[in-house]
């Protein structure tokens, strides 16, 4: 088994089992202890896993980046994703636009379309008004770090809608789930997806195999749009 295949097997196993012993990995991969150590060291350096006594676990992310920080990361990939997302929007649609930097870029490509946007993203409002896009801003408690409204009020108002399309952000994804750092944001995203005819996750390839504690939904419940898909 070649190097890349071994890494895929390790990550796939951890995605399913969350933790595995070195002994079991050596048996599964049919490699020496020194080869396994090099493979695991490579995944640690990539930030994919953490070494624990006698084995390895997935590297579950704890830190949530602010909107201002996210806005500066991978701008080219995010803009490509935004173009793909906007191309799916047709006149007369009502769309849910999640908070986040990639969703914010979608607005740049919606000018002139006869649509209505519903959002909880405070960061979107200036662009939406500049582009003369009819918009409903959901109320709720302001979360300053990610510049969105959240909470019971937000969910209650959201429940009054049905959407043609929902565009949702995610902090990470693997072969099983989409993830975010805040359980309240995860609940809102999941709800918006259920209220939509079609729901899309907008996430670039750097977020693959980044795992957070809050699950948004299973991977087959939303379609992923990323720069190379």
Pick from 184, 194, 116: which is nearest to 150 by CA? 184
- E strand segments, the chain: 19-21, 49-52, 55-58, 94-97, 116-119, 135-137, 141-143, 148-150, 163-169, 172-173, 177-180, 196-202, 214-218, 223-225
What's the domain range around 52?
3-58
Do 50 and 76 lie in one domain? The reply is no
Cβ(86)–Cβ(104) below 8 Å = no
Last residue of a domain, one of 13, 35, 58: 58
Cβ(5)–Cβ(30) below 8 Å = no
As a whole-number percent, the residues of the chain with pLDDT over 70 amount to: 97
At residue 60 the predicted structure's pLDDT band, cuts being 50, 70 and 90, is low
Do 26 and 130 lie in one domain? The reply is no
Tell me the pLDDT tens digit for each residue of 108-161: 999 999 999 999 999 999 999 999 999 999 999 999 999 999 999 999 999 999
Do 13 and 111 lie in one domain? The reply is no
* Of residues 109 and 64, more confidently modeled: 109
Q: For all residues of the chain together, what is the average pLDDT? A: 92
pTM: 0.76
Tokens representing 84 are: 């793909």
Do 12 and 112 lie in one domain? The reply is no
């Amino acid at each position: 088994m070649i190097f890349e295949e071994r890494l895929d097997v390790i990550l796939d196993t951890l995605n399913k089992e969350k933790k595995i012993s070195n002994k079991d990995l050596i048996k599964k991969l049919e490699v020496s202890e020194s080869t396994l150590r090099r493979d695991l060291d490579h995944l640690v350096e990539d930030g994919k896993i953490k070494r624990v006594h006698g084995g390895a676990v997935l590297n579950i992310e704890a830190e949530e980046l602010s909107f201002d920080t996210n806005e500066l990361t991978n701008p080219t990939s995010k803009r490509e994703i935004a173009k793909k997302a906007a191309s799916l929007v047709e006149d007369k649609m009502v769309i849910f636009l999640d908070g986040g930097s990639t969703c914010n870029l979608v607005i740049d490509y919606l000018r002139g379309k006869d649509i209505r946007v519903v959002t909880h993203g405070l960061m979107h409002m200036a662009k939406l008004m500049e582009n003369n896009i009819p918009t409903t801003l959901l109320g709720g408690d302001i979360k300053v770090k990610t510049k969105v409204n959240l909470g019971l009020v937000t969910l209650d108002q959201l429940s009054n809608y049905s959407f043609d399309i929902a565009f949702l952000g995610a902090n990470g994804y693997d072969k099983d789930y989409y993830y975010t750092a805040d359980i309240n944001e995860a609940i809102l995203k999941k709800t918006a997806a259920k209220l939509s005819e079609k729901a899309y996750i907008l996430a670039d390839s750097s977020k693959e195999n980044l795992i957070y504690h809050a699950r948004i939904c299973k991977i087959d419940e939303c379609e992923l749009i990323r720069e190379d898909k």
